[in-house]
Amino acid sequence: MKRVVASGVVGLARVLAGGNVRRIGFTPDERQRIYFANHTSHLDFVIVWSALPKRLRVLTRPVAARDYWANGVRRYLALNVFNAVLVDRVRSEATTPNPLDILLDGLGERHSLIIFPEGTRGDGTHLGAFKSGLYRLGQARPDVELVPVYIDNLNRVLPKGEFAPVPMIASVSFGAPMHVGDGEEKADFLDRARNAILELRQW
């Protein structure tokens, strides 16, 4: 059943937004990775997930906002189909676990993650500043490759504030994997990561 739903979701994503998948200095394999992408739509992780080969999808967990994905069909899809890692957008209490620990836990020994370091959805033209989570993850797990991903045109499929999607050709570009350098400052690394996505824009 899960597999049928998963194929259905991938099929639907392709009809609505399927387009070009470009790999620029990136080869998909079973190594553990953190894919970090620009964030323009609720469909972002679905389209990145769909752009990966089937055998890698079961190993790749999107990180999604708990408030949007916690109820009804979305909850079923998030937990059972995508095996998503749900995090709170606003950290409420000091007692709730640190989001970084939730992500490290989600990564485990064999999974990969899809994250959106801007934190919130942009308007599709401007790439916002990155939050520090990507840097901390990279420091905590130097063995995991960080892969920049640029999603183009998906904001037109489902713009912020709209409910119904419109079909459009979106493209997903995967760039060359990177790591946090020895002694690299947080700001330097986040700049480097952000530029890696901006460079993919030119393809």
Under the criterion CB under 8 A, does residue 39 sit at the interface with another protein? Answer: no
State in angstroms the smallest separation of the CB of 189 from another protein. Answer: 33
Find the binder of another protein among 168, 176, 184, 186 (CB under 8 A): 168
Under the criterion CB under 8 A, does residue 164 sit at the interface with another protein? Answer: yes
Count of beta carbons in the 10 Å neighbourhood of residue 101: 10
Which residue, 79 or 169, has its beta carbon nearer to another protein?
Answer: 169
Under the criterion CB under 8 A, does residue 122 sit at the interface with another protein? Answer: no
State in angstroms the smallest separation of the CB of 182 from another protein. Answer: 41
Phi, psi of 32 (to 5 degrees): -75, 135
State in angstroms the smallest separation of the CB of 160 from another protein. Answer: 8
State in angstroms the smallest separation of the CB of 133 from another protein. Answer: 29
Under the criterion CB under 8 A, does residue 159 sit at the interface with another protein? Answer: yes
Cα atoms in the 13 Å half-sphere on the side-chain side of 98? 7
Distance in angstroms (rounded) separating the CA atoms of residues 17 and 5: 18
Find the binder of another protein among 42, 61, 156, 194 (CB under 8 A): 156
Q: DSSP letters along 50-107, please?
A: HTS-HHHHTTEEEEEEHHHHSSHHHHHIIIIIS--EEE-SS---TTSPPHHHHHHHHH
Which residue, 18 or 148, has its beta carbon nearer to another protein?
Answer: 18
Kindly state the number of chain residues that form the binding site for another protein, as judged by CB under 8 A.
12
Question: Where are the strands (E) in the chain, listed by range?
Answer: 21-23, 33-37, 60-65, 85-87, 112-115, 145-152, 171-174
Q: Which stretch binds another protein (CB under 8 A): 43-51, 96-104, 127-135, 164-172?
A: 164-172
Distance in angstroms (rounded) separating the CA atoms of residues 113 and 131: 16
Which residue, 16 or 200, has its beta carbon nearer to another protein?
Answer: 16
Distance in angstroms (rounded) separating the CA atoms of residues 135 and 20: 29
Binding site for another protein (CB under 8 A): 19-20, 153, 156, 159, 162, 164-169
